[in-house]
Amino acid sequence: MRVGFSIMKEIHKKTPELAASDYGLKDEEFARMINLIERQGYIERVLRAGDQMSLKPARLTHKGLIFLQENGHLEMNYPRLREELKEWVRVDKLLYSNEAEDDE
């Protein structure tokens, strides 16, 4: 949930290009998350060209804005620096991993 929340928040703030590495994700995982939140109607206008994707023109839908408001409790400890995002989303990974090992 933190990755989706953060992506939507950063899109809303018009943060320059987000990348999988900002979250400690593989490119495929990041692309799947973008596709998921787009299909679910939280974001729109993701630019695609071949296998490349840009979030620069992306924006939140009304549903996405409501999601940010309803999950505002995540704002309390949201990182101020982009470099801290990876550690912040790691909390979800630890909570939901069931102690599964990374395949890195």
Task: Assess if residue 98 is contained within a domain.
Answer: no
At 6-55, the pLDDT tens digits run 999 999 999 988 999 999 999 999 999 999 999 999 999 999 999 899 99
Sign of the CA dihedral with 15 first, then 17, 21, and 26 last: positive
Query: The whole model's pTM is what?
Result: 0.87
CB atoms within 10 A of CB 43: 24
Indicate whether 99 pLDDT > 60. no
Task: Assess if residue 103 is contained within a domain.
Answer: no
At 62-81, the pLDDT tens digits run 999 999 999 999 999 999 99
> Which range of residues forms the domain containing residue 54?
2-92
Task: Assess if residue 59 is contained within a domain.
Answer: yes
Task: Assess if residue 99 is contained within a domain.
Answer: no
Task: Assess if residue 104 is contained within a domain.
Answer: no
List the CATH number of the domain containing 22: 1.10.10.10
Task: Assess if residue 88 is contained within a domain.
Answer: yes
Helix (H) or strand (E) holding 60: strand 59-60
